[in-house]
């Protein structure tokens, strides 16, 4: 299939982050930034890797997590102060290795671009789920402290925060699968280790010290690390050090890939140069999510105008700003139903041939003649930025003899997922409110 390298489509929702700093001190990281390596959740380098599963079985799990993640996002948008949704707690976007405390205590946590609060299991813990790593003991940390109810971070919790009798700020998060975490909002030194050189430490990072946690969390999950756009997230708390700049480059991964994706912060995270296109980052509710404005998609030379979720189909309104969430943790791209239908129609006309049914019921457009397809480039028209997506970004092999269009219809939420972002350097500038794209070979 022209332009479509099948062994590079196996992208997943969750990744372990290993940190490599170009400089070693806190101040130096502020000036020069730092870069991390991503390892796919389902790669042999991950503790979650299951060698008994086929690459197609791992893909199916990633596809289903996309749908569950979409449900989670819908619930957060409907009620941003009350997170309850059909989400599997252990199926988050990434895993990340950090440490908290002085001396530092390692933590392998779910790193989630759809969440803000950093939290981990803490002693005393009368009701904790079992985990491989030792529980964090605040009494053993020289730099740990609980935060008062008048602290700014406590105010950022909204309805998920409350005040204890001794004026300690407490938090409570719950999920639709009956998983939950409750504890004290605290602060401590966060350390990001390095396999080369000394670790870098960031004092005074706010996090939830969970004393009551349960549900479907995995024993390898030490807690959660929020990477969203809200004030409690790790990204926002490090904003002064990194200048509000970060970027990532997602490699096309196969099960035997030895090359890792990269995420960059600070000056290392600036995306510029020839071929770079930028689009405004739109403020939305909740502020956890990163919103862009998609004006349409072109299939080859045919342009399909964006259609949203408006009930007035006879009189389409102007394109709504911030109509799609860009998310590195969702595998598939979700589009409004009517818009998706028009795009699929343009694709079937351009490709020709006989379509077939997805036996797993996830995808609407599939083909069985893998080697004979000629798939056109699809261009995503964001405001001010045309992003050309080759077949690698738009079709995925789900079985030996089956490839499917990796965008699916959605009833009330649009997400630009990570398959569409493979081999792009995607940069976020949170001070100037823009997202940039630069086509890149992320394996180099």
> Which residues are tagged catalytic?
112, 327
The strand pairing partners of 379, in sequence order, are 298, 388
CA gap 334, 251 in Å, rounded: 21
CA gap 325, 415 in Å, rounded: 5
Residues 50/53/58/60 CA torsion (nearest 10 deg): -140
- Nearest-Å Rg of the Cα atoms of the chain is 22
Give the closest residue to 426 by CA, choosing from 337, 331, 328, 341. 328
| Cβ pair 223, 135 in contact under 8 A | no
Helix (H), strand (E) at residue 180: strand 180-192
Does residue 225 sit in helix, strand or coil?
strand
Give the closest residue to 173 by CA, choosing from 227, 209, 205, 124. 209
Q: What are phi and psi of 244, to 5 degrees?
A: 70, 20
Phi-psi region of 181 (alpha: psi -120 to 50; beta: other; left: phi over 0): beta
- What tokens were used for 90? 């252990």
Give 261's contacts (C-beta < 8 A, 6+ positions apart).
Answer: 15, 37, 38, 40, 248, 249, 250, 251, 253, 442
């Amino acid at each position: 299939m022209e332009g479509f390298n099948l062994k590079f489509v196996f992208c997943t929702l969750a990744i372990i982050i290993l940190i490599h700093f170009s400089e070693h001190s806190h101040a130096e990281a502020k000036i020069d930034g730092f870069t991390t390596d991503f390892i796919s959740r389902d790669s042999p380098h991950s503790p979650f890797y299951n060698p008994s599963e086929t690459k197609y079985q791992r893909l199916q799990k990633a596809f289903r997590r996309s749908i569950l993640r979409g449900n989670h996002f819908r619930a957060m948008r409907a009620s941003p102060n009350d997170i309850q949704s059909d989400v599997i707690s252990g199926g988050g976007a990434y895993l990340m290795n950090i440490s908290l405390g002085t001396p530092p205590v390692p933590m392998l946590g779910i790193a989630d671009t759809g969440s803000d609060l950093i939290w981990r299991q803490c002693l005393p813990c009368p009701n904790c789920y079992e985990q491989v790593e030792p529980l964090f003991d605040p009494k053993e940390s020289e730099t740990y402290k609980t935060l008062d109810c008048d602290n700014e971070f406590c105010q950022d919790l909204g309805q998920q925060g409350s005040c204890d009798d001794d004026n300690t700020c407490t938090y409570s998060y719950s999920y639709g699968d009956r998983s939950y975490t409750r504890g004290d909002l605290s602060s401590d030194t966060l350390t990001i280790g390095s396999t080369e050189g000394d670790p870098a430490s960031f004092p005074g990072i706010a996090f939830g010290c969970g004393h009551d946690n349960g549900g479907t969390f995995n024993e390898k999950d030490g807690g959660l690390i929020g990477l969203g756009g809200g004030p409690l997230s790790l990204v926002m708390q490090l904003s002064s050090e990194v200048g509000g700049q970060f970027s990532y480059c997602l490699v096309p991964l196969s099960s035997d890939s030895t090359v890792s994706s990269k995420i960059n912060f600070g000056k290392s995270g600036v995306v510029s140069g020839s071929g770079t296109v930028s689009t405004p980052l739109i403020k939305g509710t909740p502020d956890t999510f990163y919103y862009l404005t998609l004006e349409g998609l072109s299939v080859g030379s045919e342009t399909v105008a964006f259609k949203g979720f408006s009930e007035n189909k006879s009189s389409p309104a102007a394109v709504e700003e911030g109509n799609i969430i860009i998310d590195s943790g969702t595998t598939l791209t979700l589009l409004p139903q009517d818009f998706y239908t028009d795009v699929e129609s343009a694709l079937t006309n351009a490709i020709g041939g006989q379509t077939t049914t997805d036996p797993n019921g996830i995808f609407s457009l599939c083909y069985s003649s893998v080697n004979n397809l000629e798939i056109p480039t699809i261009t995503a028209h964001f405001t001010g930025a045309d992003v050309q997506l080759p077949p690698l970004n738009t079709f995925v092999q789900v079985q030996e003899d089956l490839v499917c269009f990796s965008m699916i219809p959605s009833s009330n939420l649009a997400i630009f997922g990570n398959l569409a972002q493979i081999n792009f350097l995607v940069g976020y500038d949170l001070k100037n409110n823009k997202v940039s794209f630069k086509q890149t070979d992320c394996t180099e």
